[in-house]
């Protein structure tokens, strides 16, 4: 079914108006492809140009190649990574992240607070600090932060005052609380103290805020989850227009080949053929950051008797081929040319809240073909 959808989407947009039936099939194909990606509707592109966080771009490049195909399926924890930017834009050392886009059925694996450490202030006096203690608290009651029940410690560690750069703190328990009860999300509080817990006034260490510093240094919550989807597949309901209505190859000019030429093509042995999906061509480039498209490939060809090793047949396919060739049983067809290895792809995109999401989808690329 996925091959049928991709063949439709690979058709270039015609220069002249298409018959209503073709446009209807294309619209249905787009809807089905969205279902493969776990969406009901495509996210709205950002209102203004937005640069994705460099961390998310680097993570995509670590996990996937330029076409989005997964390099190593064990690199990513879970199948979804989201980045959320701070929504306070005001209060220093207080941070708030809106997590409404996280579905209830997603398993929270790891949550991290990413803060960019600015160059420390140089004190006026002779006393200089080399380290300070940074503590991250979950705010329980924002009006009672000075009381024991007003906040809960999530993480604390010593931070050097000699450099600048990103600091990452684990805040998973707080995010689990917030996703279970959205009203409990009162944000985070960050404190900076001396080595013995003594107050430092003014604090020698500052973190970049969402309001006063460059977008590339904004505070960020990175969330790793798993939605339980394994092996993306389309619903089993019928698709309007069977495979016989679709072109054997794209682009469209090849549709003009004669029937005899197509028949000869079907006699070629089972092998893998290109099947490109261009996100710009199907109107998704406004919200998909990477990749710009990918090659799904598809399998086509005959599985004649006897099946050679180059056709990667299963034992069952070999037996079926023999029975078919010798006519030992009625109604037994020859084996089919199908994918025998599938790879996942990764999409980096903006969701409806303009958060950047990295999501991995299983079984989206035919890695090789065989007779089964």
Buried b (16+ CB within 10 A) or exposed e, 201-212: eebbbbbbbbee
Q: How many CB atoms lie within 10 A of CB 216?
A: 11
Q: What is the pLDDT along the chain (372 residues), one digit of tens a residue?
A: 455 455 555 555 545 555 677 788 888 888 888 888 888 888 888 888 889 999 999 999 999 999 999 998 888 889 999 999 998 766 678 999 999 999 988 999 999 999 999 887 665 554 566 888 999 999 998 888 888 889 999 999 999 888 889 999 999 999 999 999 999 999 999 998 888 777 777 777 888 876 666 778 899 999 999 988 765 443 333 323 333 333 333 333 333 334 443 443 456 888 899 999 999 998 999 999 999 999 999 999 888 777 667 667 667 666 676 666 666 777 777 788 889 899 999 999 999 999 999 999 999 999 999 888
Q: How far is Cα 123 from Cα 101, in angstroms, rounded to an integer? A: 43
User: Three-class SS of residue 71?
Assistant: coil
Quick check: pTM over 0.85?
no
Residue among 137, 136, 134 nearest 120 (CA): 134
Instruction: Name the token pair of 217.
Output: 């240094």
Buried b (16+ CB within 10 A) or exposed e, 146-163: eeeebbeebbeeebebee
Domains of the chain by start residue, with CATH: 2-41+246-351+365-371 (2.10.90.10), 80-121+130-226 (2.60.120.970)
Give CA torsion, residues 17, 18, 23, 26, to 10 deg.
-110
Residue 246: enclosing H or E segment and its boundaries?
none
For β-strands 356-371 and 293-295, DSSP reports them as unpaired
Nearest-5° Cα angle at 199, 204 to 172:
80
Residue whose token pair is 């790891």:
110
Rounded alpha-carbon distances, angstroms, from residue 74 to 71, 78, 181, 233:
9, 9, 31, 21
């Amino acid at each position: 079914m996925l091959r049928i959808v991709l063949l439709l989407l690979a058709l270039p947009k015609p220069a002249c108006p298409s018959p209503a039936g073709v446009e209807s099939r294309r619209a249905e194909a787009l809807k089905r492809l969205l279902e493969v990606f776990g969406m009901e509707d495509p996210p709205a592109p950002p209102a203004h140009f937005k640069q994705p966080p460099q961390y998310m771009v680097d993570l995509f490049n670590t996990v996937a190649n330029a076409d989005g195909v997964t390099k190593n399926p064990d690199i990513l924890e879970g199948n979804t990574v989201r980045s959320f930017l701070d929504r306070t834009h005001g209060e220093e050392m207080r941070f708030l992240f809106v997590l409404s886009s996280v579905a209830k059925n997603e398993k929270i694996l790891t949550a991290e607070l990413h803060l960019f450490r600015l160059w420390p202030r140089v004190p006026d006096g002779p006393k200089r600090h080399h380290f300070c203690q940074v503590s991250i608290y979950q705010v329980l009651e924002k009006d009672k932060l000075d009381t024991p029940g007003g906040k809960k410690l999530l993480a604390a560690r010593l931070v050097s005052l000699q450099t600048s750069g990103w600091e990452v703190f684990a805040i998973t328990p707080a995010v689990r609380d917030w996703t279970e009860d959205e009203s409990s999300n009162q944000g985070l509080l960050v404190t900076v103290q001396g080595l013995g817990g003594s107050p430092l006034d003014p604090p020698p260490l500052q973190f970049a805020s969402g309001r006063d510093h460059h977008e590339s240094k904004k505070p960020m919550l990175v969330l790793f989850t798993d939605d339980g989807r394994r092996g993306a597949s389309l619903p089993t309901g019928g698709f309007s227009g069977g495979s016989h209505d679709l072109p054997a190859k794209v682009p469209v000019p090849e549709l003009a080949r004669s029937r005899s030429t197509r028949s000869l093509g079907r006699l070629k042995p089972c092998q893998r053929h290109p099947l490109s999906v261009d996100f710009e061509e199907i109107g998704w480039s406004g919200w998909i950051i990477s990749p710009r498209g990918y090659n799904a490939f598809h399998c086509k060809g005959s599985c004649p008797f006897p099946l050679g090793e180059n056709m990667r047949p299963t034992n069952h396919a070999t037996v079926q081929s023999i029975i078919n060739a010798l006519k030992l049983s009625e109604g037994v067809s020859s084996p089919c040319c199908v994918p025998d290895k599938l790879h996942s792809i990764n999409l980096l995109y903006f969701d409806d809240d303009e958060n950047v999401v990295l999501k991995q989808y299983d079984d989206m690329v035919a890695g090789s073909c065989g007779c089964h």
